[in-house]
Amino acid sequence: MSRQDDLLSGIKAKPVRMSLPSGLLNQRDHEQRNALARRILAEFHDMPGLALSQKQAGRFLGIDDDACLRILNVLTREGRLRRNARMQYVHSETPPRRYLGARETAN
Q: How confident is the model at residue 97 (pLDDT cuts 50, 70, 90)?
A: low
Q: What is the pLDDT of residue 76?
A: 94
Q: What is the pLDDT of residue 74?
A: 92
Judged against a pLDDT cut of 80, whether residue 64 lies above it is answered with yes
> Has residue 104 been placed in a domain?
no
Q: Which residues contact 18 (CB under 8 A, 6 or more apart)?
A: 61, 62, 63
> Has residue 61 been placed in a domain?
yes
> Has residue 82 been placed in a domain?
yes
> Has residue 63 been placed in a domain?
yes
> Has residue 64 been placed in a domain?
yes
* Residues 78 and 96 sit within 8 Å (Cβ to Cβ): yes
pTM of the full structure: 0.60
The structural domain count of the chain equals: 1
> Has residue 44 been placed in a domain?
yes
Greatest mean pLDDT among 15-24, 74-83, 97-106 lies in 74-83
- CATH number of the domain to which 49 belongs: 1.10.10.10
Q: Which domain holds residue 76?
A: 29-94
Q: What is the mean pLDDT of the chain?
A: 75
